[in-house]
Structure 1
Amino acid sequence: MVADPAGYSPTPPTPPGMPAPRQLLSGGRGDLAPLAMLEDSVKRLKSPSASPGAMLPRPQAEAALSLLADWFLESSGSASLSAVEHPKLKNFLRQVGLPEISRADLAGARLDARFAEARADAAARFREARFFQLAADGLREQVITLSVNLPNDTSVFHRAVPMPAPASASPDYAQELFLDAASSVSASSGDIRHCAGIVADRFGSKTLRDLETKHHWMVNLTCQVHGLSRLVSDMARELPLFNNAASNCAKIASYFNTTPSVRALLHKHQVQEHGHAFLLPIAAPPYNGGEFAAAFVMLESILTSARPLQLAVLEESYKVVCIDDPAAREIAAMVQNVAFWTEVEATHSVVKMIMDLVKEMETERPLVGQCLPLWEDLRGKVRGWCRKFSVEEATAMNVVERRFRKNYHPAWSAAFILDPLYLIKDAGRRYLPPFNYLTPEQEKDVDRLITRLVSPEEAHLALMELMKWRSEGLDPLYAQAVQVRQPDPSTGKMKIANKQSSRLVWETCLSEFKSLGKVAVRLIFLHATAKGFKCTPSMTRWLTAPGSSAGSIGRAHRLVFIAANSKLERRDFSNDDDKDVELLTEGDDDMLTETGNVDPSSSSV
């Protein structure tokens, strides 16, 4: 017997007491979620065994929740603690058989326990180290971060210090802050001489020199990331092509952005060239001093739109505009002028070269012995840039040399000579320190620094040992072992396999150099940059919020301490926001074309 198809309903029967699927609900679409919850409750009552998330055994659940809590605390500033109460996360925990966790629990007992653990670990590492370097970052910002660099190539976050008026911080305040931090880290030994030096950004070198005068065992350095960044401003002030290129780019950007008819032409060609259209950023003058970052973004945008700009001014409709608009004629002449593009490319090229070096230094965190080679490499690149773009080399190199002298410290030369990493093999197969690469004045700096860092009684012996080091160097096998390089897993670049080997050689096979060795081990581990952990905007708000209670400020400090030391332990010196931007801008052009197109006709006003 064949059943009549018309007798079957195309939808399953509605459970008793439930509204029909297409029934109009009085609450509208807002009733859909409660309706789903009601249906879910009915299903659970019908089949209790089907309820998701049978609870895990208590020890396993507690271990899992501890890991989750650690992740929240270590990611604070990037991941909000309030996210722990997000409905989807709560539902996820139920699905995997875990109990819920509350904000109060995270910011209370778990925070206190994790902070006590992190602080005990930091104190133990301070006790084990024979000496350390203090790093101060953000001396002109709302929050200063103080970290401690240890001889074993690790760093430990010390504390964050809010600054009510960052720009007005006096040199005396900075000295007091540095000495207080150094004393705190040295508390276990009670000897501030364990502080081998300080590296600081954005503060006058006079402050650091004054501290050296008062504490002769210290080697205090200015951060090279900051120093190289200032070189861009120096060039913008001294080289006319910077101002010319930026001023002309601003004219072009302003004209195309504010003139609807020509903007539509540019957008049409941007879509054809890049798959999407965009306005050209405009940097405010002056361009010959201060920060050049905004101007650099403008130059980059103009270069990116070079072909669309050139095609736009060739359009017949643009030529019609030129008949009555002298500004249009000026812009067209500029866009079609090879000299203009040469200036823009030259300016963009040298700024990008310097900023790429700055980013590399932020990531690699070079030691003090690398400063002279880094600056010599920079000189070579600037000379090549001058030749390529026909820039007067004497003027450009004068700018570089002035900035070099402002940044230079005698420790650069001494560390370069004492670090076995830079030993050079001579004709007799000996590995000798590279004195030939120093100027006569830098050689004197080496002698003067070494005698300052030892006691007066040891000064003569230290110089005698330096002469022996200069003539004999290091055993070839040990020298080669120190200089072994291997590819970095993430970048593929060849890097020193064991950074600590330079110091360990002095403490073992070169132990005969009693006085010189003490100087070498305290010197060659010093960092040339102050960059490490940087407070996120959220953390800055926590630490500087007006009217906050002592308890809330204390919790904020504990959260920052945990998050900072977690990042330093992972050697993660990147910015999470920057990584997100990089992730979102990755992908093929097709995806950008689909999501980023701007209809040129919609750009007119």
Structure 2
Amino acid sequence: MATVSASPSADELASKVAHKRYEGLLMVRSKALRGKGAWYWAHLEPILIQTSDTGIPNAVKLRCTLCDTFFSASNPSRTATEHLKRGTCPNFTSQPKPITSIPHQVNNRKRSYAVDVVYSSSSTPPQQPHLMLSGGKDDLGPLALLEDSVKKLKSPKTSPGLALSKAQVDSAVSLLTEWVYECAGAVSFSSIEHPKFQAFLSQVGMPSIPRQLLAGARLDARYEEARSDADARIREAKIFQLAADGWKSCSSPDDDCFVSLTVNLPNGTTVFRRAILTHGRVHFSYAEEVLRDTVVDVSGGVGGANRCAGIVSNRFHSKALRNLESRNPWMVNLSCQLEAFRSLLNDFARDLPLFHNVTTRTSKIASFFNDISPARTILHKYQLHELDRIRLLHSPSSSMHGNFSPIFAMLDDIISSARPLQLAVRDESYKILFLEDPDARELAEMISNNGFWKDLQAAHSLVKLIRNMMRDIESTRPLIGQCLPLWDDLRLKLKKWCAKYSIEETAACKVFDKRFRKNYHPAWAAAFILDPVYLSKDSSGKYLPPYEYLTPEQEKDVGKVITRLASREEAHIVLNELMKWRSEGMDPLYAQAVQVKQIDPATGKMRIANPQSSRLVWETCLSEGFGSLAKVAVRLIFLHATAFGFRCNLSLLRWVSKQGWSKPGMERALKVVFVSAQSKLERKDFSNEEEKDSELFGNGEDDPLDETFFDASSL
């Protein structure tokens, strides 16, 4: 017959748990007393406590052996901190303590720090006076490090760490150096010797890396690898285009100028070639010499210079580019469209009466609220309330030398602070200024006037319109055939802007046409006609070039450019083939294949699925019927319309400038620039770290006056 054992009572279970806890604490205390544990166990003793009438111990307490006070045994470390370290125990101050247990007391009057004398032996040392450490409170950290060093010497232990194989270490070092090279200027070589970075390397099992490792043989090898790859790509291409970016910064006598020279290949890739660092203004003849020598260098000699189909540059196009084109008729030398749109924006700011009117009034507002302390205080109050931040308004200086960027920044500031400004001039404290400063009343009336905000919104809207198109140009990097559609699109948007804000269209179009004529190149029209992307289907089903979109002068330019780019022997042939192209066009099936579009994941807009199709179709299916014209088309339609390539950030410019005092230093710096630039171009990364950081820390707020101007009467 089976027997049923009685279940243990609750008291018995509690007693069992208490005994187990008690025995564990005894074991810990025993080890501590032998010098293998925490110091405080010399003063804390585990005690079994009986808390019921059964006589069975069912709890554990800690007893202070110095003052016989009982504590919970749940957290001995916390008990030691609160009872012993913080001076609660009346007898603990006369006892010896380890260095890390030394409490500090702050004298509020003298702000001096006192600690007890430390004894290395004797359980009952004599009473000693407090010792003032010479370094004050900051000495406690070094004292703790001293004790830690003593403990390590007494019982040295080797930390296993992370065991990495030699192959893993080599791979990690290579990745690290690649990162430093590609972030040239943003990450200095010396930064890898920062103590905390070295501590990080130790934590992940990496050896210490000296900065000399980055600037020696490893850099030379990486540079030779990148240079060899770039040279091979250029040799494989039959033709190329040279792009020069950075001349725009050479307009000030005090600025450093960093010019990057890249090579655009027909397959759509861009290869870095060289960088030039100059100081102050650069004469166009020097730019012409640099461009000419680079073309010869890339071509492999003067005899191969006809491989260069053209040059695109963001400055000096009026003289240097035209001089080179006149001496080399096979070239098409273009000014950068990004720079042209920026210049157009400056043209509007300088020549359009609306901008002059708005700039004058906003300058008064910015200067008044920046310079007059009571007005500034009132504005900051409402900025903080409405925008959750305060800031001074941009106030451009009188001498800007044609640079209108500070004016545009001021318009942005006034727009973003529209509501705070209108609230500020209605504040009771602001009205007091009316009695003392006549400008205060004038500005209050201006800010309360809806007409002012409408004009400001009109000017700001045009700036935003052109800036948005410039961002599109940066992201898409248009080819030469897209120049006419780009400017026609801007012309249409400009007319809509004039209608929306009741601006005289004649004055605005006059500024636009002047910049268009200055920037226009006849090759725009030729590329537009020859690029199959722009073929249009007529009533008979043929895909024909869009001559109807050209002016009579542009139509003549097509024939002139194509004749110039063809050899003398083929001049009459290429004109006949051009007439055939105009009347017959292209096979509908191939035309549709070239014009297939898809959504660009970066911008969300529809783009040509395969941009290389325009060139490839001329080299394949059109080469038989249009032999001479195909040669011209292949050289023409792949050309880029912007010089935008490798972006040099300010930190890189400053870093390279510092190396100029020595030839070896400059050589190493330019090698790093080459590796960094080539790597970014391979990834098609045309941004820079400063812009990314700006986006990261920007608040992303929309302009308060984005769609309609602020109605002052609503306040």
Fold similarity call, TM over 0.5: yes
2:8 is aligned to none
Quote the residue 1:454 is aligned against.
Answer: 566
Cα contact 2:335–2:642 (8 A) shared by 1: yes
Determine if contact 1:44/1:51 at 8 Å carries over to the other structure.
no
The answer to whether structure 1 residue 118 and structure 2 residue 226 are counterparts is yes
Query: Judging changes above 3 Å, is the alpha-carbon distance between structure 1 residues 204 and 501 closer, same or farther for their aligned structure 2 residues?
Result: closer
Mapping of residues 137-152 of structure 1, within 5 Å: 137-140=245-248, 141=250, 142-152=257-267
Structure 2 residue aligned with 1:268: 381
**Equivalent of residue 533 in structure 2, options 381, 397, 421:** 421
Range that drifts further, 460-469 or 396-405: 460-469
User: Is the 1:147–1:157 contact (alpha carbons within 8 Å) kept by the matching residues of 2?
Assistant: yes
Question: How much has 1:85 moved relative to structure 2?
Answer: 0.9
- Specify whether residues 17 and 520 from structure 1 end up closer, same or farther in structure 2 by C-alpha distance, changes over 3 A only: same
Measure the CA separation in 2 of the matches of 1:413 and 1:281: 42
| Alignment deviations for residues 106-152 of structure 1 (CA, whole Å, 9 cap, x no partner) | 01111111101100011110111111100111224212211111111
In the aligned structure 2, how far is the partner of 1:322 from the partner of 1:78? Answer: 50
Which residue of 292, 297, 305 maps to 1:184?
A: 297
**Quick check: 2:275–2:670 contact (8 Å CA) kept in 1?**
yes
Please give the alpha-carbon distance, in whole angstroms, between the structure 1 residues aligned to 2:675 and 2:163. Answer: 30
Select 2:435's aligned residue among 306, 317, 323.
Answer: 323
1:417 deviates by 0.7
CA contact (8 A) 2:659 2:669 kept: no
The one-character-per-residue Cα deviations of 1:435-487 (angstroms, maximum 9, x if unpaired) are 11111111110101011011111011111111121122222222222222222
Q: Which has the higher helix share?
A: 1
Shift of 1:534: 2.9
Q: What does 1:187-586 correspond to in 2, within 5 Å?
A: 187=300, 191-285=304-398, 290-512=402-624, 513-545=626-658, 548-586=661-699
RMSD over aligned CA atoms reads: 2.5
Q: 1:539, 1:556 within 8 Å by CA — same for their partners in 2?
A: no
Give 2:403's aligned amino acid: E
Query: How far does residue 31 in structure 1 lie from its aligned partner after superposition?
Result: 4.5
Q: Which SS does the other structure have where 1:291 is aligned?
A: coil
For 1:471 and 1:21, the matched residues in 2 are separated by 97
Greater Cα shift, 479-488 or 222-231: 479-488
Distance in 1 separating the partners of 2:136 and 2:596? 71
Distance in 1 between residues matched to 2:527 and 2:140, nearest whole Å? 70
> What is the aligned partner in structure 1 of residue 277 from structure 2?
162
CA–CA distance in 1 between the matches of 2:682 and 2:152?
A: 46
Structure showing greater relative contact order (alpha-carbon pairs closer than 8 Å, 6 or more residues apart): 1
Aligned partners of 1:39 and 1:430: how far apart in 2?
Answer: 90
Letter in 2 for 1:125: R
Superposition deviation, residue 33 in structure 1: 5.5
**Once the 2 structures are TM-superposed, how far is the Cα of residue 317 of structure 1 from its aligned partner?**
2.7
Q: Distance in 2 between the 1:43 and 1:573 partners?
A: 55
Quick one: distance in 1 between partners of 2:149 and 2:628? 79
Q: Residue deviations 1:240-298, cap 9 Å, x none?
A: 111110110111111122222222222222122111222222112368x7121101111
Whether the 8 Å contact between 1:137 and 1:530 is mirrored in structure 2 is: yes
Paired amino acid for 1:149: N
* Kept after mapping to 2: 8 A contact 1:127/1:188: no
Deviation at 1:533, TM superposition (A): 1.1
| TM-score, normalisation: structure 1 | 0.91
**Deviation of residue 157 (structure 1)?**
1.0
Name the amino acid aligned to 2:80: T
Kindly state the Cα deviation for residue 188 of structure 1 after the two structures are TM-superposed.
Answer: 7.7
| Alpha carbons of structure 1 residues 426 and 359: separation in structure 2 relative to 1, 3 Å | same
Higher Rg: 2
Q: Report deviation, 1:78.
A: 1.4
Structure 1: tracts of 5 or more residues without a match: 590-605
8 Å Cα contact 2:186/2:652 also seen in 1: no
Change beyond 3 A, Cα 1:249–1:409: same
- Measure how far apart 1:538 and its partner are: 3.5
The alpha-carbon distance between structure 1 residues 384 and 124, as it changes in their structure 2 partners (threshold 3 A), is same
Q: Distance in 1 between matches of 2:148 and 2:164?
A: 22
The letter of the residue matching 2:346 is: S
SS of the aligned residue for 1:163 comes to: strand
Counterpart code for 2:481: G
Q: Could you say which residue in structure 2 is the equivalent of 1:20?
A: 101
The equivalences for 1:19-58 within 5 A come to 19-20=100-101, 22=103, 24=115, 27-28=135-136, 30-31=138-139, 34=142, 51=159, 53-58=161-166
Deviation at 1:586, TM superposition (A): 4.0
SS of residue in 2 equivalent to 1:458: helix
AA aligned to 2:169 is: A
Structure 2 residue matching 1:276: 3-state secondary structure: coil
Tell me if structure 2 keeps the 8 A contact 1:222–1:407: yes
Equivalent position of 1:601 in the other structure = none
Q: Secondary structure at the match of 1:198?
A: strand
Structure 2 unaligned residues grouped into runs of 5+:
1-47, 50-59, 65-70, 86-95, 105-114, 116-132, 251-256, 703-715
Pick which of 275-284 and 369-378 moved more: 275-284
Q: Residue type of the partner of 1:144?
A: V
**Alpha-carbon deviation of 1:82?**
1.4
Report the CA distance shift for 1:546/1:157 in structure 2 as closer, same or farther (over 3 A): closer
Residues 648 and 688, structure 2, Cα contact 8 Å, conserved in 1: no
Q: Distance in 2 between matches of 1:41 and 1:498?
A: 66
Q: Are the structure 2 counterparts of residues 261 and 538 from structure 1 closer, same or farther at C-alpha, using a change threshold of 3 Å?
A: closer
Query: What is the CA distance between 1:571 and its match in structure 2?
Result: 0.9
- Percentage identity across paired residues of the two chains: 55
Inter-CA distance 324–481: structure 2 relative to 1 (3 Å threshold): same
Name the amino acid aligned to 1:93.
Answer: L
1:60 and 2:168 are equivalent in the alignment: yes
